[in-house]
Amino acid sequence: MTDATVSPVFKILALAQGGHDNLARAAIEGGATPDQFCVDLLTIANRTPVTIAADQILPAGAVLVRAYTATPAAIGGNVGNGTLTVSAIGPDVVEGTYTAKCILKRSDRGTFEIRSPSGGVIDEANVGTPLQSTTFSLTIADGSTDFAVGDGFTITVAGGTYSGYSFADDAGVQVAAGVLSIAIDTSDPSATQEQFATVHGPAVLPANFVALADPPPNYSATNLGQKFAACLDQLARRGIVVRG
């Protein structure tokens, strides 16, 4: 006897009764299986309106990157007068306020504990030694007065507009931050616009939908494949799985 709670008919019926009857009907008529419909529904549910930068002509499925800023600031009351600088932002960065707190004091040195906006420890940085991680590349420099245990910094990360992966910025670090749902043209007028995109999971997107838009004509297939694979890995970190 078939368990109604796992039967294909029950799956589509339950989703249809949840307010998605038009999608369910279109899926069935188009020959989609219940599981395919569940994936499509999940992806649609996770589409988010985002701000696309000006001067962009992007097809649906274009891999999006996002501009981030990281602003360090010394915590009030620090004994030491050294500095913290961020030289690069990695693929695991999230919006919010990170903290760097001195947990070990040494003459002209010291060790800082780096915590994420949620409070989890993500790394340790030694004064005077650059730290390179998948979140930040940063350096804490010694000042004329040594740091004391408890001294610290905040690093405020803010996300800006989204744009398509730029081959003109090939030498820079670009982090895949989502996939555009609908084609957009912001070149005329030259202003930002809102459009739907998948920027968080859980979501599953078909491989034939996702692409790096407009690679140069002479760009090698090998390099393109490597960059696309890196983007897929970065999307997976956000819960966006590309397969098929």
Q: CA-CA distances (angstroms) from residue 101 to 26, 106, 130, 140?
A: 55, 14, 16, 11
At 62-75, the pLDDT tens digits run 999 988 889 999 99
pLDDT value at residue 44: 66
Query: What's the mean pLDDT when you consider all of the chain?
Result: 84
pLDDT value at residue 151: 98
Q: What are the domain boundaries of the chain?
A: 1-45, 48-244
Q: CA-CA distances (angstroms) from residue 211 to 57, 121, 225?
A: 14, 34, 10
pLDDT value at residue 3: 42
pLDDT value at residue 57: 92
At 130-139, the pLDDT tens digits run 999 989 899 9
Which residues does residue 96 pair with via DSSP β-bridges, in sequence order? 157
pLDDT value at residue 36: 61
As a whole number of Å, the CA-based R_g of the chain is 23
Query: Quick check: 105 and 121 in contact, CB under 8 A?
Result: no
Q: Measured between alpha carbons, how far is 95 from 82 in angstroms, rounded to an integer? A: 25
Query: Quick check: 69 and 158 in contact, CB under 8 A?
Result: yes
pLDDT value at residue 79: 97
Q: Measured between alpha carbons, how far is 116 from 54 in angstroms, rounded to an integer? A: 31
pLDDT value at residue 4: 43
pLDDT value at residue 2: 39
At 161-185, the pLDDT tens digits run 999 998 876 555 678 899 998 899 9
Q: Could you say which residues of the chain have pLDDT below 50?
A: 1-6
